Amino acid sequence: MIQLKWVTLTIAISFGTLATAQGTGETATAESTADTTAVPTDSEQEYIDWATGIWDSLDRQTGSISLPIAGATLTVPESFYYLNPTDAQKVLVEVWGNPPGQETLGMLFPADLTPFDEESWAVTVQYEEDGYVSDEDADKINYADLLKDMQQDTLAASEERVNAGYEAISLVGWAADPYYNPTEHKLYWAKELKFGEDDLHTLNYNIRVLGRKGVLLLNFIAGMEQKTTIESNLDTVLSMAEFDTGSTYGDFDPDIDKVAAYGLGALVAGKVIAKTGLIAVAVVFLKKFGVFIILGVAALLKTLYSRRKKKLGL
């Protein structure tokens, strides 16, 4: 069984060492010269007990995971583990510091990592039932032009956020060009994002699995420095998610099924244009700074680890 890797007794666990200063994105690192045989302080022991309690409470699953709301199934190999929606919320909110409210169908983690490891990464699973998304425009999308439009949209949103007192955001470019598999009806791409003046950029890697009535969303939570790791696991993650018989893309019945008001380009852009003309924005969970980001709106909803750090005296 995987064990929590307490690197040092100065709490060198990923999020435990993050300072997450407001607007700076600066991080604190554990003291490399720390005495690993030292007896933990009361506050450190409380922290260790808290983290161990959460880890022990997680129901880590492998094998066939049914997602009845989506009419889909995840087939999770031994090299990964799945957390149910309740446990996923626990990790996202209590461990990684995201505000509550954004529901998921669960999370996927590599089997050799815990949510507390500095090098940890994960995949959130969500579902949007907006109807059948036509892929007729798959060969017609100019992704270079789309990127320029997205960068302009991000710039406009960034100006609003700065005026509201939050960090600027910029879309640096594609971290991986959009690719659509017309046989499996799976779309994936990655964006490189920069927040404020931080030199360490954020990786926003996305997978969309098209179904009869909606789309499965698999979003990686990772940093740009983990891009190689993510890409080496991409095929494995892509193969995990499939719609059940009766809910597949090929099961679409034009006589009775709803058609989404957007195509593949809108999925990539993160803007879903509804018939009312309203725009839904793409949601991204980020581990690194403990924030929950909504792209395209004026505010960056941001929480710090300071509440827990203050409570534990760290």
Average of per-residue pLDDT values in the chain: 78
Say if residue 4's pLDDT is above 50: yes
1 in any annotated domain? no
183 in any annotated domain? yes
Number of domains the chain is built from = 1
141 in any annotated domain? yes
Higher-scoring residue by pLDDT: 113, 271: 113
Asked if residues 230 and 105 have their Cβ atoms less than 8 Å apart, the reply is: no
What is the reported pLDDT for 128?
95
Q: How far apart are CA 309 and CA 314, in angstroms?
A: 5
8 in any annotated domain? no
What is the reported pLDDT for 131?
96
Q: How confident is the model over 6-18, as pLDDT tens digits? A: 433 333 333 333 3
Q: How far apart are CA 191 and CA 172, in angstroms?
A: 8
What is the reported pLDDT for 82?
99
81 in any annotated domain? yes
Q: Which residue segment(s) compose the domain that 218 sits in?
A: 14-312
Q: How confident is the model over 225-273, as pLDDT tens digits? A: 999 999 999 999 999 999 999 999 999 999 999 999 999 998 998 754 3
HEC-encoded secondary structure of the chain: CCCCCCCCCCCCCHHHHCCCCCCCCCCCCCCCCCCCCCCCCHHHHHHHHHHHHHHHHCCCECEEEEECCCCEEEEECCCEEEECHHHHHHHHHHHCCCCCCCCCCEEEEECCCCCCCCCCCEEEEEEECCCECCCCCCCCCCHHHHHHHHHHHHHHHHHHHHHCCCCCEEEEEEEEEEEEECCCCEEEEEEEEEECCCCCCEEEEEEEEEECCCEEEEEEEEEHHHHHHHHHHHHHHHHHEEECCCCEHHHCCCCCCCECCCCHHHHHHCCEECCCCCEECCEEEECCCCEEEECCCCCCCECCCHHHHHHHCC
9 in any annotated domain? no
Say if residue 102's pLDDT is above 80: no
197 in any annotated domain? yes
Q: How confident is the model over 191-222, as pLDDT tens digits? A: 998 888 888 888 889 999 999 999 999 999 88
Tell me the pLDDT band of 132, cut-offs 50, 70 and 90. very high
Q: Which two tokens stand for residue 8?
A: 């040092």
Across the range 295-303, mean pLDDT stands at 28
Q: How far apart are CA 256 and CA 220, in angstroms?
A: 34
What is the reported pLDDT for 271?
53
Higher-scoring residue by pLDDT: 186, 224: 186
279 in any annotated domain? yes
Across the range 78-82, mean pLDDT stands at 98
Q: How confident is the model over 280-292, as pLDDT tens digits? A: 344 556 554 444 4
